Amino acid sequence: MSSLVRRTTRALIVVLLVVTVGWTGSPASALPASALPASATIAPLWHRYVLGPSSSQVTPVAVDVRGSVSNPQTLTNGKGKPATLTTVAGGTPASVVLDFGKDVAGVPYLDVTAVEGTPTLTLVTGEARQFLRRPAATAVAAAATAGAVQVTLASVANLEAGNTITFGAGTGAQTRAITAFDTVARTVSVDPALSADVAAGTAVTTSPGAPASDESRGLAGVGGIDTLQPTAAGRVSGGFHGGFRFVLLTLTTPGSVSLLSARVDFQALRATSADYKGWFLSSDDQLNKMWYSGAYTLQLNLKPAGLNGLADTRIYDGAKRDRSIWTCDLLIQAPTAISTLGDAGAEYVKSSLNVLLATQRADGALPGSPDFRKGNNPNGSPLFYSDNYSGCGARGIIAYYRYTGDEAYLTSVLPALRRELAYNDTFVDANNLVVSNDRGYWQATQTGEVTKYSIDYYLLLRDMAWVERKVGSAATADTLDAKAEAVKTAINARLWNPALGAYGQSSDHPDVLVEDANALALQHGIVPADRRASVLAALKTLWTPYGAIIGPGLQDPTGHVIEPFGNGMETAGRMAVGDMTGAFDLMRRTWGPMVDTKNALYTGGLWEFKNSTGGVNRTTASLAHGWAASPTVQLTELVLGITPVDPGYATWSIAPHPGALAWAQGGVPSKYGDIGVSWLSLAPVSSFTMHADTPRGTTGTIAVPATDRALVVVNGRVVCLRGKCTAYQGHFEDGAMRLTVPGGRYDIIVTRV
């Protein structure tokens, strides 16, 4: 960074010469292009944040053992004698935990060099190590007396020799080691013998438990426990597993197995730095990690063509669960996939939308998940989850068009979009608000005039009006905009609660504060200016050290009260009204722990939920979930500042919001060519410099932070000084100097005079 600062400082000195002493040198020589940060200056540094594996054959980075295992490090370094697992009758089963350092997806396989006996290996995967083993929770079936070494249980599920078993609780509890168990007689042998009687019905727990999968085979049609029975040297493979950091390999029967390697054949989309078409880098290491973790999360969610018996490509909600397309998730996933992977990401989005459209109902409703119920059928069957999710489907299709400019596709599906909008219209009451006995993503049914659903309807109307002006009817667009304005007015008139200082959940629950509705109202300009501070303050009452809860009474029933999907709405809402400090603070609380490699739940991906203490409660909680990737979109669009205005970035906006950041760089792909931006904010000298490369044949608006007394120099030419601009339709608005420019290269310096 030092050279970047030096070059910018030199440029600022030149500017000061122009202003203070009337220097008359040529503009070109006064402000050379090299005075500003160029993409090539530090771009290679972003490569180190890319999380995709360098090879399709992924090797674990660490291993630890239980029972008799020799030479385990061979499995990580590929050197030395084979690792050998040996289990003897009645002894602790030999096992290894393979740690891949971050989530991977694919088929685990073993290269076996020798076998003794008739061994059986179980292979389970997990995103979180804490869920690799499932403790037993049962009861004593028949009373046992003091001195007994065998006890009959109601169930012997999740028992493993070598684990501890506890009979009872409190001061009278007896903890012993399990030496053996009988699955038919349901007996467990313990050592040492019981020291006191144990009554029938006494609660029994174990630690840590037997190998267990954190996947849900019924939903995804994949995963679960693999049983491997090698008989000779050679390769042995498990099944496909959608997302996991750890593999627990256990030799459950007497014998031995020697392994030269234990790897994973990676079968999600494997993107190296060469595959990234968009990128981001800033002065903040933690924010950089969030951006690339969001991108990697999407890559883990991408199902390549041919995988799982499906010829097409699809974007699933999570790496391991549900492994289904979900419409509201696509609102985050589609921009992330396209802005990071370009055409490759766009194809995944389009293919997923085709699956969605193929299952549209006759009444116009789109399913929340078109392929949810998998079972033995990889295509599953459509799940019409909620009316709210139905509208998300249409907005996901429009998002694809906005980012790609694929007009032929949008035109072909316009009738389907109109039918979906007509379906949504049926839930609007005489007050122009949505009434629906419907559930949202927190699985709680909402009734009355619902604020969140009314805002979603408003956004769908605005999106459809935009679409109609591009490829449909301008008159229809005007009608839709008028309807949207009526919805906005009704939200403010009927759903605002002065006592909350915010919008209530619904007309039935006006006193319940919810994060998502209030955040979206901020993000999309529904909140009047004189109410914004009140909404920001109300939202902050939902904050915890680990992120914001979504609202009283709306949390996931298993206790996952913090949802990154809703927190992403709030960070976007805060950025939209200029609260960059609050946005960055919440971003760090929510996503900071996820990108901390020392966190026990670190996967390289971003998580579906968190509980009130920052962890997860249930084994199937997804730790690489696409709806959590909003930092990737927001850091590109709201911090770096690049957003599409017309389809495919035919018209674009570059409007940075630096907050406390010193600098940022990055770019996005577009239909017309790459758009690259780099900026440097020097707060001590009240200056801001920017370099922007935009495609020829496009137009856009550049809005640089400035006061109405600033000096603005563009490509060596003074274009604005103390509020007066002579080029690019320059004018001061909302804390920025706004310039309308054709595509090209721009070096801009702003300084206070």
Per residue in 666-683, pLDDT (tens digit) is: 999 999 999 999 999 987
Q: Residue range 274-281: average pLDDT?
A: 97
pLDDT number for residue 222: 84
pLDDT tens-digit readout, 169-217: 999 999 999 999 999 999 999 999 999 999 999 999 999 999 998 887 7
Tokens of 256: 């031995």
Q: Residue range 153-176: average pLDDT?
A: 95
Task: Kindly state whether residue 277 falls inside one of the protein's structural domains.
Answer: no
**Burial category of 201 from C-beta neighbours within 10 Å (exposed 0-12, middle 13-18, buried 19 and up):** exposed
Q: Residue range 446-459: average pLDDT?
A: 95
pLDDT number for residue 685: 57
Task: Kindly state whether residue 642 falls inside one of the protein's structural domains.
Answer: no
Task: Kindly state whether residue 249 falls inside one of the protein's structural domains.
Answer: yes
Say if residue 375 is in the same domain as residue 478.
Answer: yes
pLDDT over threshold 70, residue 91: yes
Candidates 732, 589, 437; CA nearest to 750 is 732
Say if residue 142 is in the same domain as residue 44.
Answer: no
pLDDT over threshold 90, residue 39: no
Rg (C-alpha) for the chain, rounded Å, is 29
pLDDT over threshold 70, residue 375: yes
Task: Kindly state whether residue 275 falls inside one of the protein's structural domains.
Answer: no
Split at pLDDT 50, 70, 90, the class of 168 is very high
Q: Which one of 569, 593, 628 terminates a domain?
A: 628
Q: Which one of 211, 230, 251 terminates a domain?
A: 211
Task: Provide the 3-class DSSP secondary structure of residue 179.
Answer: strand
Task: Kindly state whether residue 276 falls inside one of the protein's structural domains.
Answer: no
Q: Residue range 64-81: average pLDDT?
A: 96
DSSP string, 497-533: ETTTTEEBSBSS-TT-B-HHHHHHHHHTT-S-GGGHH
Say if residue 45 is in the same domain as residue 162.
Answer: no
C-beta contacts of 580-588 below 8 A and 24+ residues apart = 580/657, 580/658, 580/659, 580/660, 581/659, 581/660, 582/536, 582/540, 583/659, 584/287, 584/659, 584/660, 586/543, 586/547, 586/548, 587/287, 587/290, 587/631, 588/286
Say if residue 353 is in the same domain as residue 236.
Answer: no
pLDDT number for residue 443: 65
- The rounded distance, in Å, linking the Cα atoms of 394 and 357 is 9
Kind of pairing, strands 651-654 and 699-705?
parallel
* Phi and psi angles of residue 622, each rounded to the nearest 5 degrees, phi first: -80, 125
**Full domain range(s) for residue 198:** 134-211
- The rounded distance, in Å, linking the Cα atoms of 39 and 47 is 13
Q: Are 146 and 184 a contacting pair, CB within 8 Å?
A: no
Say if residue 145 is in the same domain as residue 124.
Answer: no
CATH number at residue 173: 2.40.10
Secondary structure letter of residue 168 according to DSSP: S
**CA distances to 314, 325, 371, 391, 409 from 354, in Å:** 10, 11, 12, 16, 10
End-to-end CA distance of the chain: 26
Q: What percent of the chain has pLDDT over 90?
A: 85
pLDDT over threshold 60, residue 32: no
pLDDT over threshold 60, residue 35: no
Strand partners, 642: 654
Say if residue 427 is in the same domain as residue 522.
Answer: yes
pLDDT over threshold 80, residue 660: yes
Say if residue 604 is in the same domain as residue 670.
Answer: no
Q: What share of the chain is helix, strand, coil (3-state, %, to 5)?
A: 35, 30, 40
Total tally of structural domains belonging to the chain: 4
pLDDT over threshold 70, residue 15: no
Split at pLDDT 50, 70, 90, the class of 302 is very high
DSSP string, 73-121: THHHH--SSPEEEEE-TTSPPEEEEEEEEEEEEEEEEEEEEEEES---E
Strands (DSSP E) found in 379-446 = 438-439, 445-446
pLDDT tens-digit readout, 485-523: 999 999 999 999 999 999 999 999 999 999 999 999 999
Say if residue 258 is in the same domain as residue 371.
Answer: no
Candidates 459, 462, 433, 214; CA nearest to 328 is 459
Task: Kindly state whether residue 202 falls inside one of the protein's structural domains.
Answer: yes
Q: Residue range 228-236: average pLDDT?
A: 97
Average pLDDT, the chain: 92
- The rounded distance, in Å, linking the Cα atoms of 439 and 454 is 13
CATH number at residue 331: 1.50.10.10
CATH number at residue 75: 2.60.120.260
Is residue 614 left, alpha or beta, with left meaning phi > 0 and alpha meaning psi from -120 to 50?
left
**Burial category of 169 from C-beta neighbours within 10 Å (exposed 0-12, middle 13-18, buried 19 and up):** exposed
- The rounded distance, in Å, linking the Cα atoms of 356 and 361 is 10
- The rounded distance, in Å, linking the Cα atoms of 46 and 49 is 6
Tokens of 335: 């921009």
Say if residue 607 is in the same domain as residue 691.
Answer: no
Q: Are 513 and 552 a contacting pair, CB within 8 Å?
A: yes
- The rounded distance, in Å, linking the Cα atoms of 372 and 383 is 6
CATH number at residue 684: 2.60.420.10
Say if residue 72 is in the same domain as residue 203.
Answer: no
Strand partners, 153: 140
Q: Are 504 and 451 a contacting pair, CB within 8 Å?
A: yes
* Alpha helices for 263-406 (secondary structure H): 285-301, 327-341, 343-357, 387-404
pLDDT over threshold 50, residue 272: yes
Task: Kindly state whether residue 33 falls inside one of the protein's structural domains.
Answer: yes
pTM recorded for the entire structure: 0.93
Say if residue 233 is in the same domain as residue 308.
Answer: no
Task: Kindly state whether residue 279 falls inside one of the protein's structural domains.
Answer: no
Say if residue 547 is in the same domain as residue 656.
Answer: no
